[in-house]
Structure formats: C-alpha cells, structure tokens
Amino acid sequence: QQKVQQSPESLSVPEGGMASLNCTSSDRNFQYFWWYRQHSGEGPKALMSIFSDGDKKEGRFTAHLNKASLHVSLHIRDSQPSDSALYFCAAGNTGNYKYVFGAGTRLKVIA
C-alpha cells in the first residue's frame, strides 16, 4: 500500500468553480507535505508546501494540514482551464533527503 494516498483519482470542475483535492498519509513520521502540478508533456512543478497545522494560502490556492489525521488538502478557488493538470501530493521527514509522492489526481477544468 502506498504511504501517500490521493483522492479522487480524477475530478472535473466548471471554470470559476472550486476544486478540492485530498491526500492522506499512513506514516506518522511525515512532517511536511508538498503539492506539485504537472501539465501534459512537462515535468512536475512545485505549487506549495505546508509544514504546520492549519491553512496556508497562496493566491487562488489554499492548502490545509491536519497532522493528527495525517490529512492534507488543496483547494483551488476560481479554477481556470490552465489549472487542468495532474496534481501530486508529496510527504517527507525533516532531515531526510527525499519524499514520497502519491499517485496523483487529474483535474479537468471545463470552460
């Protein structure tokens, strides 16, 4: 079983709508989480990281972390067609040199 599980596998939202992506870890040693986005034919690019419980907002993107439940979410407000991509959650331990990626959520924003 993967240590980082994402849901849903795919998601469609209308342009201007809210997209919500979820990520759950099975390893209580994970101390930080990242969200990466990958457009078709490209390498993944970092969106944002979150280390502390609560919300972190960057523009239209808000990440929420609940360490007790090992759950992190990404909410995209006012979704745009350019947000259509594969979104990865990654988790790791401070002091380690690597993190673990989930299988991804494919988001489609319908114009």
Partner 1 sequence: EAAVTQSPRNKVAVTGGKVTLSCNQTNNHNNMYWYRQDTGHGLRLIHYSYGAGSTEKGDIPDGYKASRPSQENFSLILELATPSQTSVYFCASGDAGEDTQYFGPGTRLLVL
Q: How many chain residues interact with partner 1 (CB under 8 A)? A: 27
Per-residue contact flags (x/-) with partner 1 for residues 12 to 41, judged by CB under 8 A: -------------------xx-x------x
Pairing of strands 105-110, 10-14: parallel
Q: Within 46-105, which residues bind partner 1 (CB under 8 A)?
A: 46, 49, 51, 88, 92-104
Instruction: Please give the full DSSP string across 62-95, using - where no structure is assigned.
Output: EEEEETTTTEEEEEESS--GGG-EEEEEEEE-TT
Q: What residue ranges bind partner 1 (CB under 8 A)? A: 2, 6, 31-32, 34, 41-46, 49, 51, 88, 92-104
